[in-house]
Amino acid sequence: MSWRVPGPPRPPNHPKTIHKPPTREREAAEDEEAEKVLAAYPPDRVRGKAECLGRIREALDAGTEVEDLSQAVKAYATESAGFTRSKVCFSDNWFKSGRWRSYVEDIARNREGSKAKEAEMLAGLANWVTDKHPLCRHITPGQIDALLAAELVTQAQIQAAGLRS
């Protein structure tokens, strides 16, 4: 008597076994925004592309702007340009550890600082116009438009200072 149960003619890992393709189709979701950010990373330091794209997508879904993240990548690339390969952070680790966050925060801080400087400059120009300062003749048409848009001066004050007729 044979207790042996008949099985497949050869085991699944036999070299001549032909495996059927998976029944599920995997979607190759092309994420253009994440690809754009990863393209800014130095090509010789890109590692684990799929994981990087996933981490980038998480960051973008959390509210980070694409342009800010791209600028952060470019800033890191510029900062570490002369480093040896042992001193640089490869893309998978850079996104996994969240090192991009400090760069994005710096970009946002600089943006706010430049807006504050611009507001301060416009306030100074508005004082020139209201005081009819001799230097107000050097105010450009673009600055005049910005002053009017910010409602720091009126059209009558601009005309009284002799800037537009």
Residues 4-28 have pLDDT tens digits of 777 767 777 777 777 777 665 544 4
Whether 156 shows a pLDDT value over 70: the answer reads yes
Q: Which of 73, 81, 78, 76 is nearest to 37 (CA)?
A: 73
Question: What is the rounded distance in angstroms from the CA atom of residue 161 to the CA atom of residue 154?
Answer: 11
Structure tokens at 105: 């925060």
The H or E element that residue 113 is part of is helix 100-131
* pTM listed for this prediction: 0.56
Q: Between the CA of residue 35 and those of 46, 49, 97, what are the distances in Å?
A: 12, 9, 19
DSSP assignment letter at 134:
G
26-52 pLDDT, tens per residue? 444 457 888 999 999 999 999 999 999
